[in-house]
Amino acid sequence: MTREPPINAAIFGLEGPELRAAEAVFFRDCNPWGFILFSRNIETPEQVRKLCTDLRNTVGRNALIFVDQEGGRVQRLGPPHWRKAAYAFDFGELYRINPEYALRAIWLNFRLIAEDLRAVGITANCAPVLDLPVIGADPIISDRAFSRDPAKMIDMAQACISGLIAGGVAPVIKHIPGHGRASVDSHKALPVIADGIEDLSKTDFLPFKAFGAAGKSSTVASVAMAMTAHIVLSDIDDIHPVTVSKIVFDDIIRGHIGYDGLVMSDDLDMKALDGELTELTRRSLAAGCDIVLQCNGSLADMVQVAKGLRPLGGDSLRRAKLAETTAELQEEFDVNAGLEEYTALMTQLDS
Respond yes or no: is residue 260 known to be catalytic.
no
Selecting among 81, 185, 187, 250, the annotated active-site residue is 187
- From 255, 242, 261, 124, select the one nearest 178 (Cα to Cα): 242
Respond yes or no: is residue 175 known to be catalytic.
no
Rounded Cα gap, residues 8 and 313, in angstroms: 9
Selecting among 116, 131, 260, 266, the annotated active-site residue is 266
- The Cα angle at residue 32 between residues 29 and 34, in degrees rounded to 5: 140
Rounded Cα gap, residues 95 and 111, in angstroms: 18
Instruction: Show which residues are catalytic.
Output: 187, 266
